[in-house]
Amino acid sequence: MDGNGRWATRRGLPRAAGHRAGAQAVRRVVEAAPGLGARGLTLFAFSADNWKRPPGEVAALMRLFARHLRTETPKLVERGVRLDVVGRRDRLPAPLVASIAAAERATRDGAELRLRLAVDYSARWAISAGVLLPDVDLLVRTGGERRLSDFLLWESAYAELVFTDVMWPDFTAADLAAAIAEFHARQRRFGALPEAAAG
């Protein structure tokens, strides 16, 4: 979910305003995903390297995550979304850890969409700890960056990668639909021959 900071700076706003707009984009995408055929969605909200940011920005993000979880949980339950937070919890503020536990508990019976929020997440850490997730089909990175930045490295072994210049706060259901359409247009071979040629 890259681009919150630049989105805000371009509008003469503080970076925190970009993160707030980013939270609205999270809401849009979570709402749209099941209708677009997605059964699972993993969002990279905070990487283990994001602790290097100024303490004020980190604290604002932690508060935003906790608030978002509290306000969104009833809607997630209503829509059958099961939430899991992946990553380390021992470095997170206690109120956020409590919000995470409450949201996971409240949504555990959701069967429409498996939503994973990566917070204090590092793929290298996850691999060394043996905390692995299902294989990724489609990985979308916003904000013009063209790298994986320690996200789902193991699980993305055969992921289709889509990079877009759209800043995360501007990312809409239509952008998600376009990424999914691109995914369907690609031929996935997993190292084998295309079916037609394999005859």
Give the nearer residue to ligand FPP in terms of CB position, either 100 or 188: 100
- The residue from 22, 138, 151, 180 that contacts ligand FPP (CB under 6 A) is 22
How far is residue 23's CA from residue 65's CA, in Å, rounded to a whole number? 8
Residue 159 phi/psi, 5° resolution?
-70, 145
The radius of gyration of the chain from alpha carbons, rounded to an integer in Å, stands at 17
Catalytic residue among 2, 4, 120, 175: 2
Catalytic residue among 4, 49, 50, 90: 50
Beta-ladder partners of 141: 163
The 137-156 contact track toward ligand FPP, x by CB under 6 A, reads ------x-------------
Nearest CA-CA partner of 43 in 51, 35, 33? 33
How far is residue 57's CA from residue 29's CA, in Å, rounded to a whole number? 24
- The residue from 16, 19, 81, 107 that contacts ligand FPP (CB under 6 A) is 19
How far is residue 185's CA from residue 170's CA, in Å, rounded to a whole number? 24
- The residue from 33, 62, 117, 138 that contacts ligand FPP (CB under 6 A) is 117
How far is residue 121's CA from residue 1's CA, in Å, rounded to a whole number? 14
Q: How far is the CB of 167 from ligand FPP (least distance, A)?
A: 7
Instruction: Give yes or no: 2 in active site.
Output: yes
Site for ligand FPP in 48-107 (CB under 6 A): 50, 61, 64-65, 68
31, containing H or E segment: helix 15-32
121, containing H or E segment: strand 113-121
Instruction: Give yes or no: 150 in active site.
Output: no
Q: How far is the CB of 158 from ligand FPP (least distance, A)?
A: 25
The binding site for ligand FPP (CB under 6 A) comprises 1-6, 19, 22-23, 26, 45-46, 50, 61, 64-65, 68, 117, 143, 168
> What residues act catalytically?
2, 50
